[in-house]
Structure 1
Amino acid sequence: MPDKPARNRNFFVTEAETPDIDSLRAHLEANNGLKGLDIVEPGNIARAVKIFRRDGFVVIADVLNEEQTQFLANGCNEVAAEILALDTQRNGNRGSHRYSFGGSSLTRSQLHRPEWQMMLDIPVVNEVVTAIFGSSDYALRAASGDFCLPGALGYQPLHSDVGDWISNTVSPFSAFHDPRGHVTVRDLPCPYVCVNFLPQEITRLNGPTRQIPGTQHSRTPIPTLEEEPEWMRLSTVCPAPAGAIMVRDVRAWHGGTPNVSNAMRAIPNLEFYAPWFREPIVPGISYQDHSKLSARAQYLTRFCVADSSETLQTGATLWAP
């Protein structure tokens, strides 16, 4: 496996403190999960938005039907198999046994896949994202997500998926900057929403995402793994049913957790920018495939489509360019 690029180093975690797997499994079974997790029905968008604004995330059940859920699960399994064929040691690209669907694609996206394209036309997703942004004029950033395998025993450090401007020598994906130093991206209305789809149940044992409620506006430094209290490690979004979505303000602190189940856990996603916010976007769908999408999906992906003269190279990689 090639050396890890410097831009990804903060996603990696050693497993020196990982306890015996049987003890870890028993501890998670007894203690893992947010107490009183609110799971909203798809008809109550107003309540979903209220929880989202309070906590920085919300779970909405019964968004995908059984056929859609299985179609998405099959697609995740196919993509994961392509990625894992390149990594027989299961080193991962987000930590051991942990992978990004976008970071494992030559286009940084899975938008060329029909399963991710399907997610663009789910009515509840459009309703809740429109309500969050106060406008339907938002745009897709990428179609990505992540998966973790049994054997992902470490905790991914808590992090946020968007921040203030940094030099493009460090990352090309950076935009917001107040030269006066008065306003940070955390002081703004939500600029960037991630919608994770659940093609399988999320349990206490299969690597549920941990979310720290109410941190989307916090300027407090994010704690390291060594500083993080135990309650944060157990602040995971579970149990949550297959077919649900988890809608996240990506500024809120979150991170991966151990998968001590016997199956892969996948959370494919769609990532959306508010109408007034943009960072650089990498093309993720060919002009020809884009023309086959519904009118609404074409509009959402208007910044993700390659030029008609370009051939979009797709495929699996361990490190996206």
Structure 2
Amino acid sequence: MTDNSVRQAARPADAPEAPEVAALRAHLAAHNGIKGLDILQPRDTTRALELFRRDGFVVIADVLNDEQVEILAAGCHAVAADILALDQDRSGNRGSHRYSFGGSSLTRSQLHRPEWQMLLDIPLVTELVTAIFESPDYVLRAASGDFCLSGAVEYQPLHSDVGDWRSAAATPFSAFHDPRRQLTVRDLPCPYVCVNFLPQEVTRLNGPTRQIPGTQHSRTPIPSLADEPEWMRLSTVCPAPAGAIMIRDVRAWHGGTPNISGAMRAIPNLEFYAPWFREPIVPGISHGDYKKLSDHAQRLVRHCVADSSETLITGATLRAP
């Protein structure tokens, strides 16, 4: 399949049986996925840290047990149903048929949901995030993630989830600034980690995340979709089993890919700030629910708690405030 035909196939199609979608499916089935992708086991913590430092991401299997996978999958489908009820045309808020769990919540988070609260007490996650930051004093930014529906045939542009300071008029979520103009956020140790949890297998066809290894420190401009080479489009984290986690340095270039599998793909997450890094945090859990968490979880979410005098308003939206 030629590079041009792949780009043509990435355009929206009127029906799943459209010829360009069939061609895209065959191409992805044959070529999608990072060659030699390491899927580690929970015991491989030293290797996990090495790969994270080198590539900007790492995948570990068998972190969630079957019961946790089932609970998380049910929670993702319940939240998705509430969001999709507001979007009959499936326009999405991260592209057609593509949605952010946080960006579709009035609190910019799903921390009020018990399925996401469950993720705060996964021992391996605690161990690895503590090792990445070399401190247990990191904090939760939000509980979010994304999902894409079958029919998401477009590629999401490559991007990073954190950058240098921008004015409040541009975004309320911005922090790092060097007035000498010598350092950027990419010159720092990892300031911000995302842990994605897989409630289903991620395959070549159901919208695997594409990650460009080693770009977390790159100052090279991120290529547009028009300029992105084909190898980057196929640099996807798959196949990966249900119950796995993917830990990401959010500075590394990444983006969504087509889901032509026939089923929804969800990757809920927890997002953490290093002890020395902060951007504004929006309350995502009521004081009452906060008091029900474990001591460990309470420490993590201490900046995400609504005041005891306030009522946390939760619900679905297509455009978070």
Under a length normalisation based on structure 1, what TM-score does the superposition of the two structures give? 0.95
Residue in structure 2 matched with residue 220 of structure 1 by the alignment: 220
Residue in structure 1 matched with residue 5 of structure 2 by the alignment: none
Residue in structure 1 matched with residue 296 of structure 2 by the alignment: 296
Residue in structure 2 matched with residue 4 of structure 1 by the alignment: none
Give the distance between the partners of 1:115 and 1:135, measured in 2 at CA.
Answer: 26
Give the distance between the partners of 2:10 and 2:52, measured in 1 at CA.
Answer: 32
Residue in structure 2 matched with residue 79 of structure 1 by the alignment: 79
| CA apart distance, 1:43 | 1.2
Residue in structure 2 matched with residue 6 of structure 1 by the alignment: none
| CA apart distance, 1:17 | 7.7
Q: Which amino acid aligns with 1:125?
A: V
Is there any run of 5+ residues in structure 2 with no aligned partner, and where? 1-8, 14-18
Give the distance between the partners of 1:185 and 1:142, measured in 2 at CA.
Answer: 20
Give the distance between the partners of 2:61 and 2:11, measured in 1 at CA.
Answer: 37
Give the distance between the partners of 1:146 and 1:17, measured in 2 at CA.
Answer: 20
Residue in structure 1 matched with residue 3 of structure 2 by the alignment: none
Give the distance between the partners of 1:62 and 1:16, measured in 2 at CA.
Answer: 35
The Cα offsets for residues 121-174 of structure 1, whole Å up to 9 and x where unpaired, read as: 000000000000001100000000000000000000000000000001000000
Matched, 1:184 2:199: no
Residue in structure 2 matched with residue 230 of structure 1 by the alignment: 230
The Cα offsets for residues 2-37 of structure 1, whole Å up to 9 and x where unpaired, read as: xxxxxxxxxxxx964877100000000000000000
Secondary structure of the residue that 1:20 maps to in structure 2? helix
Give the distance between the partners of 1:264 and 1:239, measured in 2 at CA.
Answer: 16
The Cα offsets for residues 97-119 of structure 1, whole Å up to 9 and x where unpaired, read as: 00000000000000000000000
- Structure 1 segments, 4+ long, off by >6 Å, are none
Matched, 1:255 2:255: yes
Residue in structure 2 matched with residue 5 of structure 1 by the alignment: none
Superposed, 1:2-21 pairs within 5 Å as: 16=11, 20-21=20-21
Q: Which moved more, 1:16-25 or 1:46-55?
A: 16-25
Residue in structure 2 matched with residue 27 of structure 1 by the alignment: 27
Give the distance between the partners of 1:232 and 1:315, measured in 2 at CA.
Answer: 36
The Cα offsets for residues 220-270 of structure 1, whole Å up to 9 and x where unpaired, read as: 000000000000000000000000000000000000000000100000000
Give the distance between the partners of 2:120 and 2:45, measured in 1 at CA.
Answer: 18
Give the distance between the partners of 1:100 and 1:17, measured in 2 at CA.
Answer: 20
Secondary structure of the residue that 2:235 maps to in structure 1? coil
Give the distance between the partners of 2:319 and 2:177, measured in 1 at CA.
Answer: 28
Matched, 1:125 2:134: no
| CA apart distance, 1:45 | 1.0
Residue in structure 2 matched with residue 9 of structure 1 by the alignment: none
Asked whether the equivalents of residues 93 and 99 of structure 2 are also in contact (C-alpha less than 8 Å), the reply is yes
Secondary structure of the residue that 1:215 maps to in structure 2? coil
Secondary structure of the residue that 1:131 maps to in structure 2? helix
Give the distance between the partners of 2:287 and 2:182, measured in 1 at CA.
Answer: 41
Residue in structure 1 matched with residue 88 of structure 2 by the alignment: 88
The Cα offsets for residues 24-65 of structure 1, whole Å up to 9 and x where unpaired, read as: 000000000000001111112111010000000000110000
Give the distance between the partners of 1:124 and 1:306, measured in 2 at CA.
Answer: 28
Give the distance between the partners of 1:185 and 1:166, measured in 2 at CA.
Answer: 12
Matched, 1:317 2:298: no
Secondary structure of the residue that 2:266 maps to in structure 1? strand
Q: Which amino acid aligns with 1:295?
A: D
Number of equivalences: 308
Residue in structure 1 matched with residue 175 of structure 2 by the alignment: 175
Are the structure 2 counterparts of residues 211 and 141 from structure 1 closer, same or farther at C-alpha, using a change threshold of 3 Å? same
Give the distance between the partners of 1:152 and 1:17, measured in 2 at CA.
Answer: 8
Secondary structure of the residue that 1:310 maps to in structure 2? coil
Secondary structure of the residue that 2:62 maps to in structure 1? coil
Q: Which amino acid aligns with 2:179?
A: P
Is there any run of 5+ residues in structure 1 with no aligned partner, and where? 1-13
Give the distance between the partners of 2:155 and 2:91, measured in 1 at CA.
Answer: 14
Give the distance between the partners of 1:53 and 1:95, measured in 2 at CA.
Answer: 30
Give the distance between the partners of 2:317 and 2:96, measured in 1 at CA.
Answer: 16
Give the distance between the partners of 1:315 and 1:294, measured in 2 at CA.
Answer: 25
Asked whether the equivalents of residues 10 and 258 of structure 2 are also in contact (C-alpha less than 8 Å), the reply is no
Matched, 1:209 2:230: no
Asked whether the equivalents of residues 10 and 24 of structure 2 are also in contact (C-alpha less than 8 Å), the reply is no
What percentage of aligned pairs have identical amino acids?
78
Q: Which amino acid aligns with 2:181?
A: G
Residue in structure 2 matched with residue 241 of structure 1 by the alignment: 241
Give the distance between the partners of 2:205 and 2:44, measured in 1 at CA.
Answer: 29
Residue in structure 1 matched with residue 107 of structure 2 by the alignment: 107
Give the distance between the partners of 2:68 and 2:86, measured in 1 at CA.
Answer: 28
Under a length normalisation based on structure 2, what TM-score does the superposition of the two structures give? 0.95
